[in-house]
Structure 1
Amino acid sequence: MLFSLTTAQQHLSITSIWGPEQTEVDSLCYNSSDAGKNSAFFCIIGSQADGHEYAREAIKNGASMIVGSNKPFLEKLTAHYPSVTFLHVADSKIAMAEFSIFFHNFVHHSLKTIGVTGTNGKTTVTAYTRTLLNRLNVPTGIMGTAGMWDHQSKLTFKQTTPTTPEAPDLHAIFERIYQNGAKAVSLEATSIAIEQQRLHGIMFDVGIHTNLSPEHLDFHETMDHYKQSKLKLFLQSKQAVVNLDDEGMADDILAVFKGPLLTYSIEKKADIYAEQIVPDETGTSLTIVTQHNRYDIHVPVFGSYNISNLLASFCACMHLGMEEEHIIAQLPFIEGPEGRFQVIDHYPRYKIILDYAHTPDALELVIEAAKKLKHRRLILMLTGIGLRDPLKRPKMAKAAEGKADAFVVSVDHPGFVDREKVADDVVSGFSDPHAPNVYKEPLREHAIHRSLSLSEEGDLVLITGLGFGGYQHVNGEQVPYDELQVIQDFFDKEKAQNIVSS
């Protein structure tokens, strides 16, 4: 597109301009290796590198515009590249978000937007919301840890962040989802994404709060900073959904949010709450109480925490104008994301559950839910994460101790950290790290196979951690990884061994 700065300045926070005031811009990027002909390159100052140092490389690769916050550097550079447009801005991250919105013609205004924040439950809430709205004839996509989806299928998209995309990617996905026919999008709004201004400029139709517990302290350093980052979502939301059961930040939202608000609970009386929650082998029976009625239903959902997530999605749909009777009618057809209390039941003799639990409180909740299902012994696989706060690793073992019959400890996304070190950190959280029922398998594939090999008739194997997403971060690379294939490999190997032995 022909980028006219005369027009653009009405929407962008530009303080100085050098070079052509009209230039062709066909793409936006923040990695110089992604720059091509007529790219706009944003010089982002991060914790590891300063994007200004890569401006020359971006120009060499074809960038027609450079946007940065280092004015002396840009002034010096413009003398060497008179055909390139240089823009000085106060904050490159905010500028990148503003440019992304402008470049994609404010397409998010054409979508109903639902932002979900919280330590746990974000992915499940976005998936539940998508299911409900799709069934209520509001075609809805999702963005987050489970990938990018329109209302019909998963989109092919290279994720450069684990959950919430950077602004150029975010608005490109908005446009793609909209062009595919969606009318709404439900996305995970992480604290880091909020703090890094990836969501700047978006006024969400609904902001949803799930819960708050210690996480990402390697980035935020303090729980207060973590909470304050999440609270910012509700400064850019028209309507709010708040979990009254969460002691972490529910009261803070209620104190600051002034717009239309719905509360939900599985422990207290709220605008929408659940009672008489009874799990069984196929899901959960419960009563949902609204301000107008009571509904007795059965849903294919396991765990009280997922009932809470279901209520959050219920509230979001109500905020978007859906009739509560119509929402209730669709709840028995709710679908969660893969890897969130996913029951694998097509292997005779084996009962397997996969769950993304990667924080101590999430692990406790999923164990509690799993133990309500019929089983003889519980074999639990738990992990430490190389890319996350190392202080959290032993807490995973402490959260699980005494709640399973056998423990297999492994590693997710080791990054540049030694797998043995990560696994040892987790194991150190057990009161007896050398107990005979504690097994250490630093490679996730080996840990899954060990867990399954420990299982006997009637046992339940609970495999937790960041197994879904299609890759593992290893030494700076995204190494392809398929959790379901790893499980299938175990049974293929077992079958081959049986044939040989017979």
Structure 2
Amino acid sequence: MQLNELLHGFGHQVLHGDTSTVISAPPTLDAHRVTPGAVYFAVPGHQEGGPEGVARAVELGAAAVLVEGRDTCAPADGVCVVRVPDTRVAASAVASRYYGEPGRSMDVVAVTGTNGKTSVSYMVESVLRIAGGARVGVIGTSGSRIGDVRVPMPRSVLTTPESPDLQYLLGHMRDRDTARVVLEATSMALLTHRVDDAHIDLGVFTNLTQDHLDDHGSMENYAGAKLRLFQGLCRRAVANIDDPMGAVIQRLMPGATTTYALDTEADYRARDITMDAVGSRFTVHHRGRSYPAEIPVPGRFSVANALATLATCHLLGHDLELLVGALRHMPPVPGRFERHVTAGGTSVIVDYAHSPDSLEKILTAIRSFATARVITVFGCGGDRDTTKRAAMGEIAGRLSDLCVLTSDNPRGEAPEAILDQIAPGVAATGTPFERIADRRRAIASALAAAGPDDIVLVAGKGSEPHQIVGDELIPFSDMAVVRELAPRAPAVSAAMSALGG
């Protein structure tokens, strides 16, 4: 395909060369991943390239380079250099065209919100498979897959891939007869145009609570980034009307928004909610009919996620009664209320909760069925919103009997400095706590302190397979560490069988 076809209708200025140049290799923002015949986007500030990566891209055989603003590059034989108003916007459009606009060939569902993106994505995929045997692609925190088959991709910490990678994934899924794709759309992905040309059919909004203020500066900016999904990027919306943002989405997409709620009248409403250690039961109300439902996960937040799932799958054309039945048989979501019982009877829950709201919700759910002590192991991510650290300490202290403060993903910060900011919040509650920056040692300490009926919550990383220390991705799995260390913990009596294994 020629570059001028990829840029058709998109404002640009040719600085060097000819746009009849043939683009024969995948587009990329990463200078080190350029292959001969590719188009390279010199996105300012991009860690893997930017204007500083142009020379490397040309050296590796780039056929074209797109720059913005005053950026330019030295002319090279056979390389077309084009200036565009915004390289990120151009990358999304060009990548979509290069892969044949794959989103148009499938039902694409994008889930956004502070909490629940991964859970809703997994639940939608699971329910569609159980209820109708659908072939579903998933793109998100835990990587990309079609059913149980993973799509190989370069290692990354991004929940929502950069637009060239996202379009590659959509094309890969289309070419394997995938009818539906559900993806997690983060606020930064929406702000940086990664999903602009994904041709999203359904945008799902879960909730908005404090997080990512390091990226956005204010809750207003954070909300604005989330709302981009509902300002022309999707055709229909599913929105949590218990959250004030739900009403905003309704105003943005009048007549195209389906609502769900636990506490407010909505298109899909859950009532009569009860829960115990093994799950939640509730009644779904929709258009004058009621459906008894249950899910194998405790917590009101899980019921809200189930409603979002039912609304989404019903709008995709599936029978609601079959969908409600499928909820009962969902497999557990990796790293979301994932449970393990030690040989000595201690119940361990691994969860991704890493914001004040999500930590409070999961601890509240655990408290509702705990019969003994709750021990919480958690930390806060480095180089991220520092204002939530003391707040999370206070929540953990208030709802736990013992806290073990540890490293999450410290990134470029000193782990002890992060703990210094969490500790005052815990101390204010009077709950005893330990500081053990080494996450493995922290989990071991919690397991050693736990008795047979105690519950240990390991929060913050969920199913992440690595820990980010400095610029390194170090292999680390909370659940794998729990399973390895649990047999070494002091043996105690009777297992808490109610939580399952």
Does the pair score TM above 0.5?
Answer: yes
TM-score class, shorter: over 0.9
Trace 1:419-458 onto structure 2 (pairs within 5 A).
Answer: 419-432=415-428, 437-458=432-453
- TM-superposed CA distance for 1:474, in Å, is 1.0
Q: What TM-score does the superposition give when structure 1 sets the normalisation length?
A: 0.92
Deviates more, 1:479-488 or 1:267-276: 479-488
Rounded to whole Å, the distance in 1 between the matches of 2:225 and 2:433 is 37
Deviation at 1:282, TM superposition (A): 2.1
* Alignment size in residue pairs: 488
- Give the Cα–Cα distance (whole angstroms) in 1 for the partners of residues 431 and 120 of structure 2: 38
Q: Do structure 1's residue 110 and structure 2's residue 110 form an aligned pair? A: no
Q: Distance in 1 between matches of 2:113 and 2:367?
A: 25
Matches within 5 A, 1:119-268: 119-135=114-130, 136-235=132-231, 236-247=233-244, 249-268=245-264
Deviates more, 1:161-170 or 1:147-156: 147-156
Shift of 1:293: 1.0
Matches within 5 A, 1:275-354: 275-345=271-341, 347-354=343-350
Q: Cα distance, 1:472 vs. partner? A: 1.3
1:344-383 → structure 2 map (5 Å cutoff) = 344-345=340-341, 347-383=343-379
Aligned to 2:392: 396
Counterparts in 2 of 1:271 and 1:24: CA distance versus 1, 3 Å: closer
Give the conservation status (yes or no) of the 8 Å contact 2:343–2:487. Answer: no
Write the distance in 1 (CA, Å) between the matches of 2:150 and 2:329: 19
For residue 105 of structure 1, report the CA deviation from its aligned partner: 0.8
What TM-score, normalized by structure 2, do the two folds share? 0.93
CA distance in structure 2 between the aligned counterparts of 1:49 and 1:23, rounded to whole angstroms? 24
SS at match of 1:73: coil
Structure 2: state its 5+ residue gaps: 492-501
Of stretches 168-177 and 346-355 in structure 1, the one that deviates more from structure 2 is 346-355
Query: CA 1:72–1:197 in structure 2 vs 1: closer, same or farther (change >3 Å)?
Result: closer
Q: Which residue of 1 aligns with 2:499?
A: none
Partner letter of residue 103 of structure 1? Y
Q: Hey, what's the Cα distance between the residues in 2 that align with 1:412 and 1:72?
A: 38
- Partner amino acid, structure 2, of 1:19: G
What percent of counterpart residues are identical?
27
Question: Per-residue CA shift, 1:360-393, capped at 9, x if unaligned?
Answer: 1110100011112243111111211113111211
Partner amino acid for 2:137?
A: G
The residue aligned with 1:23 is 22
Could you list the runs of 5+ residues in structure 1 that have no partner in the other structure? 497-502
Question: Any conservation in 1 of the 2:376–2:403 contact (CA below 8 Å)?
Answer: yes
> What is aligned with 1:485?
480
Q: What corresponds to 1:500 in structure 2?
A: none
**By how many angstroms is 1:336 displaced?**
4.1
Q: CA deviation at 1:467?
A: 4.2
Displacement of 1:33 in angstroms is: 1.7
Matched, 1:87 2:82: yes
Cα separation, 2, equivalents of 1:91 and 1:436:
51
Distance, in Å, in 2 between the alignment partners of 1:374 and 1:7 is 61
Note if 1:58 corresponds to 2:53: no
Q: Give the CA RMSD over aligned residues.
A: 2.0
Report the Cα distance in structure 2 between the residues aligned to 1:50 and 1:33, rounded to whole angstroms.
8
The offset of 1:292, in angstroms, is 3.7
Counterpart amino acid of residue 129 in structure 1: V
Cα distance in 2 between the residues matched to 1:261 and 1:284:
27
The one-letter amino acid paired with 1:216 is H
Cα deviation 1:136-191 (Å, max 9, x = unaligned): 23211111112212123333323434311100110111122223332111111111
CA deviations 1:248-303 (Å, max 9, x no partner) are x1221122113422111111221111111111232112111111410113221211
Distance 1:100 1:392 in 2: 37
- State whether residues 35 and 63 of structure 1, in contact with CA within 8 Å, keep that contact through their aligned partners in structure 2: yes
| CA displacement at 1:11 relative to structure 2 | 5.4
**Rounded Cα–Cα distance in structure 2 between residues aligned with 1:345 and 1:153:** 28
Which whole-Å deviations, capped at 9, do the CAs of 1:456-499 have from their partners, x for residues lacking one? 11111111111422111111111111222211331354599xxx
Amino acid at match of 1:237: C
What letter is aligned with 2:267?
A: D
Q: Distance in 1 between matches of 2:382 and 2:203?
A: 31
Question: Which has the higher mean CA deviation after the structures are superposed, 153-162 or 143-152?
Answer: 153-162
Question: Aligned in 2, Cα 1:231/1:33: closer, same or farther, shift over 3 Å?
Answer: same
SS in structure 2 opposite 1:213?
coil
